[in-house]
Structure 1
Amino acid sequence: MTTQEPAASIRIDDRRARGARRPAAAVLLSLLAALWPSQARAQQQRQDGQAAPQAPEGGAAVPRGPGGAIVTPPAPTAAPAVKATPPRALNYTPPEYPPEAEKQGREASVTLQLDIDRDGRVKHAVVVESAGHGFDESALAAAQKLEFEPARRADGTPAPARILYRYSFTLKTASPPPAAGEPARSAESLRGTVLASGGDVPLAGATVSVARVAGASAATPAAPPELTTDEGGAFAFAALPPGRYQVTIAAPGFEPLSVEEALAPGEQLEVKYRLLPQGDGLEVTVRGKRPPREVTKRTIEQREINRIPGTNGDALRSLQNLPGVARPPSIAGLLIVRGSGPQDTQTFVDGTQVPLIYHFGGLSSVVPTEMLDRIDFYPGNFSAKYGRVQGGIVDVALRSPKEDGKLHGLAQMDLIDARVLLEGPVPFLENTRFMVAGRRSYIGESFGPVLEAAGAGVTQAPVYYDYQVLLETEPTPSARLRLTFFGSDDALELLLSDPAPNEPALSGNVGLHTAFQRLQLRYDHELTDKDRLDGVLAIARDDADFGIGPIYFQLDLKTISGRLEYARRISKGTVFNAGLDVFAGLYAVNLRAPGPNRPGEPPNQPFSTRTLQEVSRDGEFFYPAAYAELELAPTPRAKIVPGLRLDYQDLNQQVTVSPRVNGRFDVVPGFPRTTVKGGLGVFHQPPQFQEVIPPLGNPGLKSTRALHYAAGVEQELTRHIEASAEGFYKQLDELVVGVNRPGSIQLDYQNVGSGRVIGGEFLLKYKPDDRFFGWAAYTLSRSTRVPEPGEPERLVSFDQTHILTVLGSYRLGDGWEFGARFRLVSGNLVTPNVCNVNEQSCDPYRTNALFYAPTGTYTPIPFSGPNSERLPAFHQLDLRLDKTWKFKTWRLSAYLDVQNVYNNANSEAIQYNYNYTARQYVTGLPILPSFGMRGEF
């Protein structure tokens, strides 16, 4: 078909949604209006003659939920001194014109009801006025890509809102050929940009029309008489004959503008029009996204969350592609952030801490991607809201169940695991929704035969599963209540028929089991325009069991944790945040392990041949904390966040004080924005349970301390491309170091260690659009430790000097999407027992081990100091291909995720022969393809 690209106009409908869809919400809003009669707005009549209930003053954007109001301009009779602002579109995503409707010459308008959250994202869209013929589906798909400046209360606080949004589908008419003798026409006679006055913000979807001025030449314009601006506010009229034209520009919430323009023969006129807000309409205020309370906050959005190549569609595994995150060993599944240890980074799910983020082997995360709303990652200098950790913070937010009143579900299977999810409304309970999900692996069926072939008898095949149940409701229009139960379980048991050569007593069953459960209650409430209360309470249980032959370790934790935060906007540029953070519970530890060497025994004997000793311990702990922060904005371009956190740990009876301050300043506001940022702070981390609980640990231990320093810059290059650079330095003090204590089973733990981390992070990111997303991240760092005073400084085993990650994903069209990821990382550090024969300094005649006749084993002699040799560099290419088929009521998708495409043999460790006369590299995973299918409705 030779028709032009279909034009779609956008309008924000100032009418409220029909009360028939949510009768209880309408009644509630009416009651609220009655409770605040002096502030209630005069009702505006619908275009269809019906009146809609109004929200109280300050509620131009009532918080989320079915009771939320559609943004309505205030009535002239009740105009407040300071206005609230409704959501404002930041982009325009034209919907695809349904092919069948286009062939049939159909035009239509579709009105949607959009729920917009505090960050300006469309959380939910539902059709209010349907057009059929594929228009509804196209409009809904386009609406999910919209971005808004969030609604703001009179004091500037971001708030959720509900608005009506209309897409108009209009077919363009083709331009006829020029008549004989008609003057030549310019390719683009009139082009320009429509902006909002006062901030030069592009207005997408504005209507621009042209008409011949009376008395002008009789020639008529062949171009369409009306166009709509694109996402950049641009428009262009082609093939307009010379002459004078009346140009009229209109946009919802703005005063219309009408100007006269003259087009000269053979010339192109380029203009820029600025529209003023209507006096009683929508107030347009140019504000950027609210700056974070941290120096650096990296957020992975829904568009990116399950399309990153090499992650097998697992969102949480994508964290390993961000700046500052080191590459863990191939099967570890750990998070190593800015040179800190894996235990120094905490993970939260909806505000509750979980003990682990990945199932064993790092194959999958403990929370399915389909339930995630976003992932916030703080590599350092985080807010006083977080404590008891000195590395980084990962805060995972679960999404809300869909609110369209329908039942939705999905089922997915790949070569590793299978999962299901179901969500929808709870019968007989208004404004209440549920979501249930579960996942189970079947890698045991695949890996079991491999393990048996390697000589290990499989008693219990490796298996993991996780489960989630979520209920959510809005008890009031300004509050949300969520009850969630989720957990994870990993188990593996093998039978070793032949012990290792250097540990003859280690044989029999080898078992590993980890599990946790969380019952969580979360409550968020917008108390007033200036006050907000957020709270989360969780009851939890953690289990960890490890055994090999007669040796075992068991840990059982039963805990209760909670956080309550109150936020108060004191003035236009001042917000006060205060909170309580409590972590308490019961612990039980059981251990059977080899004791120290008996008098007269040489120190280099096998660990497993020592006399076994048992230790059992149980008790309770109480870790309360309080914090306070000020968010100060002395100017619209600057933000300073000083904070203070106070922690107490009863196991070692210590109080720690952690002051922190972060700041940001827009050197160049607006576009292209340039922002400088920086921060410094004190971060304390209590010792691990086994380090402080007697008789295993030392109750006199103190918390370790880290001083974080960071400074950086962010630069917008284009509307979609942003670059950032940040330098960081961490001074680590009072680190816990364990040394052998003569005659005792446990180590002697003391706060005698120190260390430092220095580095820089660089990120070039293309923000997700309709087709593409991607980024290039590079980290340069050095992490060292001094175990005891007087000892030399040395690199830690997980130090990686260079970390480069480049990835991207592109939608090819027709349901196809292709992505790639390439990583280049410095090799991990090891402590060698045999020198590398490829080095000239290697002495092949060196004695590498001592033979002990009673056990017939060799004990290695370290070749050099700890972490003195770096393995070869790691490099790997991963590819991902997705295909989606859309049907009338459901959707089918398939993906192929191939890791290590060119099958590079990356070195992960060093393996030695039985008498330590030779060595070879242990390589990681070879090329690993994974194929998956998903159906959803």
Structure 2
Amino acid sequence: MSLRVFLGGFFVIFTFYSLPAIGEKKKEKKTEKSEDYYVTVVKGKKEKKKEEAPEQVLTKEEVLKIPGTGGDLLKSIQNLPGTARAPAGSGILVIRGSAPGDSLVMLEGHPLPLLYHFGTFSSVINTELISDIEFIPGNFPVRYGRATGGLINVTTKLEVPKKWSGMADVDLIDAGIFFKGNIKDKGMIAGSVRRSYVDAFLKYAVPDDSSIGVIAAPVYYDYQIMSLIKPTKRDELKFIIAGDDDRVELIFKGNEEGDPGFKGEIGTNLSFHILQTHWKHVFKGGLSYHFSFQTGYQGANGKIGSYVDFKFQNFILSHFQVLEIPVSDFLEIQTGFDFLGRNYWAKAFAPAAGFSVETFSGAEIGEIDTSRWVSGEAFFLQTKMMPSERLKLIGGVRLDYLGFIKDFELHPRVLARYEVDSKTSLNAGVGVYTVEPSMVELIGDWGNPNLLAPRAIHYTLGVERHFPKAWLNVSLQFFWKSLDRVVMPSDEFYLNEKGEWVAERYNNDGKGRSYGLELLVKIDSGHRISGWLAYTLSKSERWKEGIAPYPFQYDQPHVLTLLIQGDLGKGWQLGARFRLSSGNPYQRIIDSVFLANYDTYVPIQEERPGGRLPLFHQLDIRLDKKFNFRYWWFAFYIDVMNVYYAKNPEGVSYNYDYSESGYIYGLPIIPSLGLQGGF
């Protein structure tokens, strides 16, 4: 199990494995191949060849016992440099100053509609099914596209187990089971199912005099079934079925101090169900071929009182083929094709675009009822060259056809890595990336069908150094990302092909930039003390002609995470996580206007964000204990978030006429008890 972090052009491999007891001399050698080079992992005493690049290693125990993550591997990404702190419970991914929708989340190379459940209590893929995670904050290779931010690609386990095993996991939020087994030594099958039950008792926590009448949820469930078959030594077949359903619903009685028109139900339901197939074949001579397709369904329904009501259905077909050709020991060629088709249906009743206020009262209402088939195709070619033992170059080009806007985009990308010595390496990268505008920005009375694809150019320069005597690995990365053709709201009008003046709503007049540095200092694995320090110093800005640069919505100049864990012996482990980050900027409301026809006040915002929430800080601790028996094991943990009860503002609320405001605070102390057992 590993987490591959793409720092400045090349993967740093975080390999998750279980270390034997201190002093145990038994060794088991395993060689893994990343996108760019081979890494040798030795279970037990770890020996590194002199010419190898510095390798960062995380044990499975280090990652699964991070305080505040509930033992969820995918939630560990939030503790790495390059990621901003997401608002409490939002589950969004803000990577190197990009909007959440501009980053790509994938399962085995195919789009994954959702990564985290509501509230970010857990991810939608069971940790026990994950082999490794590729986290690439920038400069990802031409194999991937349709994104200008970062990339997360989840890979499921491939090894065939020798026997059947399983486990159950229960905490105060949800419960789940997992199993895996051998299929006649030529394959395996594994599965997982999980369901939350916080909805069963949350409604009893709401006071009778609260403006919230009934809480019908949040509730979620997910499931995964994976089968691997190896009919021959050169062939591998994999089948994956996965699904998720998340829903939350609040019923308001109305609030005289707030928006008087705001009554009724607030609810959202997100779901997906997908089927994947993979076939890999290795020819004589090392040439390999990977064929895969995914089909599935994605749905989203929501309602906000009488102002918003939407239904969205998306039937997805994704396909790729990749051919890897090892020409020589110094040259490898990778080429392929990928396809993404979507047959969507959308019906909505909501305020139209361009009405940026804190309340929906008085907004222009737009209605759509539309369906459409859109698709995008891409061809890519990449070469990996080693002119010398110390220098590695990766160059590639990707050509995308964006079916929604009917346009072609070319994406050249170059990466380089130089091994100064056995402890030090330098890396650099530059590349072009585009993403298609969202459906909302393109269709019906909501958007502008003439939009272009927003574009970004990524630049990265970094250094990595291993200090063996100090037990430390250090990585320092500098990045710059320039943005153009950024989609911006517009109140202008244009003449359409029918000779009619219509509202533009959106245009591509925006520009932007994100830049900064990322520092990762990690203690070498294999010691009783483990942990790391991750720090990101960055700035993310947007602007357009006539408007000076202003902070992006999720701009956080400082993000620091400090993790420390200690093995106390006899199965006990204690860990702590401290987080410190800048608050998000926001547009302040400077005045309001009373609309007599609607009997409500409409706020007037400043032109650009001029306010910023206070500094966020929080301490989490976790205590684990594991008991091993002859045929089974049992473990429990106590995880306490926000130990010293920090009152962290997450937003700003206003009274009915916007004359007074106050902070909306995040969650208080959150203790959790978890029980696990398996065989």
Alpha-carbon distance in 2 for matches of 1:603, 1:343 = 19
Asked whether the equivalents of residues 401 and 424 of structure 1 are also in contact (C-alpha less than 8 Å), the reply is: no
- 8 Å CA contact 1:596–1:745 kept in 2: the answer is no
Instruction: Label 1:120 to 1:790 Cα distance change in 2 as closer, same or farther (>3 A).
Output: closer
Shift of 1:907: 1.3
Give the counterpart of 1:554 among 291, 308, 311: 311
CA distance in 2, matches of 1:610, 1:472: 53
String of CA shifts for 1:168-224, please: whole Å, max 9, x gaps: xxxxxxxxxxxxxxxxxxxxxxxxxxxxxxxxxxxx9xxxxxxxxxxxxxxxxxxxx
Give the gaps of 5 or more residues in structure 1.
1-118, 126-136, 166-203, 205-229, 234-284, 292-297, 835-847
- Give the deviation of 1:535 after TM superposition: 2.8
DSSP 3-state at the match of 2:279: strand
Per-residue deviation, 1:529:
3.3
Once the two structures are superposed, residues 890-917 of structure 1 have per-residue CA deviations (whole angstroms, 9 ceiling, x without a partner) of 0000001111111111111122223333
Q: Is the 8 A contact 1:504 1:608 kept in 2?
A: no
2:378/2:401 contact within 8 Å kept: yes
CA displacement at 1:919 relative to structure 2? 2.2
Question: In structure 2, how many angstroms separate the alpha carbons of the residues matched to 1:854 and 1:605?
Answer: 19
Q: C-alpha distance in 2, partners of 1:343/1:729?
A: 19
CA distance in 2, matches of 1:724, 1:744: 54
- Alignment partners' CA distance in 1, 2:502 and 2:125: 38
- Determine if contact 1:301/1:374 at 8 Å carries over to the other structure: no
How far apart are residue 850 of structure 1 and its match? 3.3
Moved more, 519-528 or 625-634: 519-528
Write the distance in 2 (CA, Å) between the matches of 1:724 and 1:290. 10
Q: 2: distance between equivalents of 1:399 and 1:345?
A: 24
1:492-507 equivalence runs, <5 A: 492-498=248-254, 503-507=259-263
Paired residues of 1:309 and 1:878 also in contact (CA < 8 A): yes
Q: Residue 691 of structure 1: SS of its match in structure 2?
A: coil
Write the distance in 2 (CA, Å) between the matches of 1:287 and 1:443: 52
Report deviation, 1:808: 2.0
Question: Which of these residues, 877, 881, 899, is aligned with residue 623 of structure 2?
Answer: 881
Match of 1:849 in 2: 592
Q: CA deviation at 1:740?
A: 3.8
2:644 aligned residue (902, 907, 913): 902
One-letter amino acid of the counterpart of residue 807, structure 1: L
Distance verdict in 2 for CA 1:122–1:556, change over 3 Å: closer
Aligned pair 1:692/2:442, yes or no?
yes
Distance (Å, rounded) in 2 between the aligned partners of 1:420 and 1:714? 40
After superposition, the Cα gap between the structure-2 partners of 1:318 and 1:747, relative to the gap in structure 1 and judged at 3 Å, is farther
Q: Please state if 1:535 is matched with 2:291.
A: yes
Letter in 2 for 1:764: V
Question: Do the aligned residues in 2 keep the contact of 1:696 with 1:746 (CA within 8 Å)?
Answer: no
* Structure in which a larger fraction of residues adopt strand: 2
- Alignment-derived partner of residue 936 in structure 1: 678
Which residue in the other structure is 1:375 paired with?
A: 133
Q: Are 1:319 and 2:77 matched, yes or no? A: yes
Could you tell me the TM-score, scaled by structure 1's length?
0.66
Contact 1:409-1:423 within 8 A present in 2 as well: yes
Residues 411, 420 of structure 1: 8 Å contact kept = yes
SS of residue matched to 1:438 = strand
Whether the 8 Å contact between 1:908 and 1:921 is mirrored in structure 2 is yes
Aligned to 1:714: 464
2:277 to 480, 496, 521: 521
Q: CA separation in 1, counterparts of 2:558 and 2:417?
A: 28
1:796 aligns with 2:552: yes
1:494 Cα deviation from its structure 2 partner? 2.2
Check 1:231–1:617 CA distance in 2 against 1; reply closer, same or farther (3 A cut): closer
Given the alignment, which residue of 144, 168, 185 partners 1:386? Answer: 144
Q: Deviations over 1:326-356 (max 9, x none)?
A: 0011121111000111111111112221122
Equivalent AA in structure 2 for residue 708 of structure 1: H
Is the alpha carbon distance of 1:449 and 1:745 closer, same or farther for their aligned partners in structure 2, counting shifts above 3 Å?
farther
- Of 460, 465, 482, which aligns to 1:731? 482
Partner AA of 1:768 in structure 2: S
1:811 to 567, 576, 583: 567
Q: Which among 892, 908, 931 is matched to residue 634 of structure 2?
A: 892
Any idea what SS the aligned residue of 1:325 has?
coil
Give the alignment's TM-score, normalised by structure 2: 0.90
Match of 1:777 among 527, 530, 534: 534
1:350 aligns with 2:112: no
Q: Please report how far the alpha carbon of residue 151 of structure 1 lies from its aligned counterpart in structure 2 after TM superposition.
A: 9.9
SS in 2 for 1:326: coil
Structure 2 CA distance, aligned partners of 1:510 and 1:151? Answer: 48
The one-character-per-residue Cα deviations of 1:75-108 (angstroms, maximum 9, x if unpaired) are xxxxxxxxxxxxxxxxxxxxxxxxxxxxxxxxxx
The C-alpha deviation readout for 1:418-474, integer Å capped at 9, x for no partner, is 010111124xx5512111100000111232223464332326221001000111111
* 1:630-669 equivalences in 2 (<5 Å): 630-668=383-421
Q: Could you say which residue in structure 2 is the equivalent of 1:462?
A: 218
Quote the Cα distance in structure 2 between the aligned partners of 1:356 and 1:120: 24
CA distance, structure 2, for counterparts of residue 500 and residue 656 of structure 1: 52
Letter in 2 for 1:450: A
Equivalent residue of 1:703, what SS? coil
Q: Which of 606, 615, 618 is matched with 2:368 structurally?
A: 615
CA apart distance, 1:308: 1.2
Displacement of 1:746: 7.4
CA displacement at 1:800 relative to structure 2: 0.6
Kindly provide the CA deviation profile for residues 909-928 of structure 1, in whole angstroms up to 9, marking residues without a partner as x: 12222333332222111111
The aligned counterpart of 1:861 is 604
State whether residues 595 and 745 of structure 1, in contact with CA within 8 Å, keep that contact through their aligned partners in structure 2.
no
- The 3 A distance-change label for structure 1 pair 781 and 606 is closer
**Whole-angstrom distance in 1 between the partners of 2:353 and 2:109:** 42
Deviates further, 927-936 or 310-319: 310-319
Q: Give the number of aligned pairs.
A: 657
Identity %: 33
User: Residues 865 and 571 of structure 1: is their aligned pair in 2 closer, same or farther, counting only changes over 3 Å?
Assistant: same
Deviation at 1:678, TM superposition (A): 0.3
Instruction: Please name the residue that 1:627 is paired with.
Output: 380
Q: Give the 3 Å change call, closer, same or farther, for CA 552–744 of structure 1 in structure 2.
A: farther
Question: Is the 8 Å Cα contact of residues 366 and 446 (structure 2) preserved in structure 1?
Answer: no
Q: Spell out the pairing of 1:29-68 with structure 2 (5 A cutoff).
A: none
CA deviations 1:353-403 (Å, max 9, x no partner) are: 112211112121111212222222100011011100000001112113651
Match of 1:920 among 662, 668, 671: 662
Secondary structure of 1:934's counterpart equals strand
- The amino acid that maps onto 2:476 is A
Q: Are 2:221 and 2:244, in contact at CA under 8 Å, matched by a contact in 1?
A: yes
SS at 2:631's partner residue? coil
1:531–1:290 CA distance, 2 compared to 1 (3 A): farther
Amino acid aligned to 1:580: F
The equivalent of 2:5 in structure 1 is none
Aligned residue among 323, 326, 334 for 2:92? 334
CA distance in 2, matches of 1:715, 1:439: 41
Within-5 A mapping of 1:202-601: 287-288=51-52, 302-400=60-158, 403-404=161-162, 406-426=163-183, 429-451=184-206, 453=208, 454-458=210-214, 460-498=216-254, 503-550=259-306, 551-594=308-351
- Whether the aligned pair in 1 keeps the contact of 2:222 and 2:244 (CA below 8 Å) is yes
C-alpha spacing 1:142/1:703, structure 2 compared with 1 (3 Å): farther
Aligned 8 A contact 2:186 2:229 in 1: yes
Secondary structure at the residue paired with 2:440? helix
SS in 2 for 1:689: coil
The one-letter amino acid of 2:75's match is R
- CA distance in 1 between partners of 2:192 and 2:25 (Å): 28
Distance (whole Å) between structure 1 residues aligned to residue 595 and residue 358 of structure 2: 8
Structure 1 CA distance, aligned partners of 2:357 and 2:51? 67
Task: Determine if contact 2:18/2:59 at 8 Å carries over to the other structure.
Answer: no
Task: Describe the superposition over 1:843-885 as per-residue Cα deviations: whole angstroms up to 9, x where unpaired.
Answer: xxxxx433344444333333x4422111211111111111000
1:799-842 CA deviation, whole Å, 9 max, x = no partner? 011111110222211111111111111111122226xxxxxxxx
Structure having the higher Rg: 1
The one-letter code of the counterpart of 2:385 is L
Once the two structures are TM-superposed, the CA of residue 651 in structure 1 deviates from its matched residue by 1.6
The worse-fitting range, judged by mean Cα deviation, of 505-514 and 462-471 is 505-514
Distance in structure 2 (CA, Å) of the matches to 1:875 and 1:121 = 29
